[in-house]
């Protein structure tokens, strides 16, 4: 039944909000099945009593309405206001509470950070463990919203930490990262506010990030040396070998191959799940999208055009008389070069480095990941996960969008409007 709480003593200090003279702060909540006319009836009744609105929040959760208003009202009118609200809301089957506040307070918390949980399935245990860690460090959860139901489940927590200064949440980040591996969910933590929304450039590694395979191994298969090259690649990605030296050694294994194999390999490239959606969505939103690869320009040209990438940097295979010579031309795109290209792209776009995002999987991405405003390790080797801000341990590149705060419903709404919407059945 609709109800009103007993009035509390008037505040004895100056309110933090611009209350009109003679008014007292109060919170009114309305809950029930969401239906047309509830908001209209509610605000019409408030208007009839000359109530001042200080803050309002309304939401629909799977057909259930939640409407809350932080208001200023005359305490002596409380019985009439309560009775009036009951009269107009009861026929609409709504439950109402009205409570005077002891003190005028800031009604909407200014969260300092955002924590995102992503997983094939998120259980109550997962959220419980994250909440325990936040509570251990006196961090408060202000709001929770769902941001994805496909291809992973995603929850976004708006959080306030006790020390909002740069680095103040380091212990929380480390504790969450350690728990990630045990819970089998991906957990990202980032500063909230304009800093998070300012990201405008996303730079991807290519092999085993934007695409599923390693191009050089695909080429080596035509030379009958795939296993040998794959073993060298694995060691290089773990950081056990100098990348440039390992690349030159692997390219040497391609000497004598007909250049026609390049187009065959290019045609066999498979994008990582969600890559097309991710790039398309970022481009729609005005992001600059780049790829920096230890692979080869000749293979990536068609892919770059297909995805409408803004920048592509990769190595150039030497070809003479229609044959691969086993050499690369010019400077090798190594670990240091990747970070240099990221900075170059940012400068060309007039962006600061904190406005950049880098996504990669291997040790040769360490410098780029470290330099970016947000560094994401995608199914990465341990060497990269140690320095990344967060990690994606599912095969779905869509998680990058969710970590940027882009919800699935907005992605799909845009796809529906453009005729590009599709959901692929996921393996159970």
Q: pLDDT tens digit string along 262-293? A: 999 999 999 999 999 999 999 999 999 999 99
User: What pLDDT does residue 263 have?
Assistant: 95
Instruction: Quick: pLDDT tens for 181-200.
Output: 788 899 999 999 888 999 99
> In this predicted model, what pLDDT tens digit does every residue of 128-137 receive, in sequence order?
999 999 999 9
Note if 409 is an active site residue.
no
What is the reported pTM?
0.86
- Annotated catalytic residue, options 207, 310, 361, 367: 207
Confidence (pLDDT) at 15: 43
pLDDT for position 103: 64
Question: pLDDT tier at 312 (50, 70, 90 boundaries)?
Answer: very high
pLDDT grade, residue 7 (50/70/90)? Answer: very low
pLDDT at 182: 85
Buried b (16+ CB within 10 A) or exposed e, 196-211: beebbbbbbbbbbbbb
Q: Is the pLDDT of residue 56 over 70?
A: yes
* The pLDDT value given to residue 195: 85
Residue 102 — pLDDT band, cuts 50, 70, 90? confident
Choosing from 205, 310, 361, 389, which is the catalytic residue?
205
- pLDDT exceeds cutoff 50 at 148: yes
Residues 6+ apart with CB under 8 A from 178: none
Q: 258: alpha, beta or left, given left = phi > 0 and alpha = psi -120 to 50?
A: beta
Instruction: Give the pLDDT score at 10.
Output: 36
* 3-state secondary structure string across the chain: CCEECCCCCCCCCCCCCCCCCCCEEEEEEEEEECCCCHHHHHHHHHHHCCCEEEEEEEEEECCEEEEEEEEEECHHHHHHHHHHHHHHHHHHCEEEEEEECCCCCCCCCCCCEEEEEEECCCCHHHHHHHHHHHHHCCCEEEEEEEEECCCCEEEEEEEECCCCCCCCCHHHHHHHHHHHHHHCCEEEEEECCHHHHCCCEEEECHHHHHECCCHHHHHHHHCCCHHHHHHHHHHHHCCCCCHHHHHHHHHHCCCCCECHHHHHHHHHCCECCCHHHHHHHHHHCCCEEEEEEEEEHHHHHHHHHHHCCCEEEEEEEEEECCEEEEEEECCCCCHHHHHHHHHHHHHHCCCCHHHEEEEECCHHHHHHHHHCCEEEEECCCHHHHCCCCEEECCCCCCHHHHHCCCCHHHHHHHHHHHCCCCCCCCCC
- The domains located in the chain, with CATH, are 3-100 (3.30.70.260), 113-197 (3.30.70.260), 201-213+258-397 (3.40.50.1000)
Taking the C-alpha atoms of residue 394 and residue 180, their distance in angstroms, rounded to an integer, is: 12
- Is-contact 377 391, C-beta < 8 A? yes
- Clarify whether 55 is annotated catalytic: no
């Amino acid at each position: 039944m609709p109800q009103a709480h007993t009035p509390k003593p008037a505040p004895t200090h100056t309110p933090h909000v611009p209350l009109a003279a003679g008014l007292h702060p109060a919170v009114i909540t309305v809950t029930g099945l969401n239906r047309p006319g509830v908001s209209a009836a509610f605000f019409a009744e408030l208007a009839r009593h000359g109530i001042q609105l200080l803050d309002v929040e309304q939401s629909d959760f799977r057909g259930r309405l939640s409407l809350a208003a932080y208001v200023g009202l005359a305490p002596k009118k409380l019985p009439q206001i309560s009775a009036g609200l009951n009269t107009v809301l009861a026929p609409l089957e709504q439950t109402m509470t009205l409570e005077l506040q002891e003190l005028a307070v800031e009604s909407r918390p200014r969260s300092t950070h955002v924590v995102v949980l992503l997983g094939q399935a998120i259980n109550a245990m997962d959220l419980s463990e994250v909440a325990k860690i936040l509570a251990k460090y006196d961090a408060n959860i202000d709001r929770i919203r769902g941001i994805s139901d496909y291809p992973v489940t995603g929850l976004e927590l708006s959080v306030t930490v006790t020390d909002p200064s740069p680095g103040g949440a380091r212990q929380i980040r480390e504790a969450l990262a350690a728990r990630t591996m045990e819970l089998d969910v991906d957990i990202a933590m980032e500063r909230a506010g304009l800093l998070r929304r300012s990201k405008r450039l996303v730079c991807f590694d290519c092999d085993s990030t934007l695409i599923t395979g390693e191009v050089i191994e695909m080429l080596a298969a035509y030379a009958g040396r795939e296993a040998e090259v794959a073993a060298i690649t694995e060691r290089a990605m773990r950081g056990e070998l100098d990348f440039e030296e390992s690349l030159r050694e692997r390219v040497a294994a391609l000497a004598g191959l007909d250049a026609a194999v390049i187009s065959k390999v290019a045609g066999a490239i498979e994008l990582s799940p969600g890559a097309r959606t991710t790039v398309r969505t970022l481009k729609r939103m005005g992001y600059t999208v780049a790829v920096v690869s230890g692979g080869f320009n000749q293979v990536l040209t068609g892919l770059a055009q297909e995805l409408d990438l803004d920048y592509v940097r990769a190595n150039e295979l030497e070809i003479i008389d229609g044959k691969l010579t086993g050499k690369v031309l010019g400077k090798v795109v190594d670990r240091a070069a990747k970070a240099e290209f990221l900075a170059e792209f940012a400068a060309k776009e007039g962006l600061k480095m904190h406005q950049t995002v880098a996504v990669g999987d291997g040790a040769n991405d360490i410098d780029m990941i470290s330099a970016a405003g947000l560094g994401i390790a995608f199914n990465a080797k341990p060497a990269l996960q140690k320095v990344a801000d967060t990690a994606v341990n599912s095969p779905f590149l869509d998680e990058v969008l969710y970590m940027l705060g882009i919800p699935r419903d907005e992605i799909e709404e845009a796809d529906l409007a453009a005729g590009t919407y599709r959901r692929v059945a996921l393996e159970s």
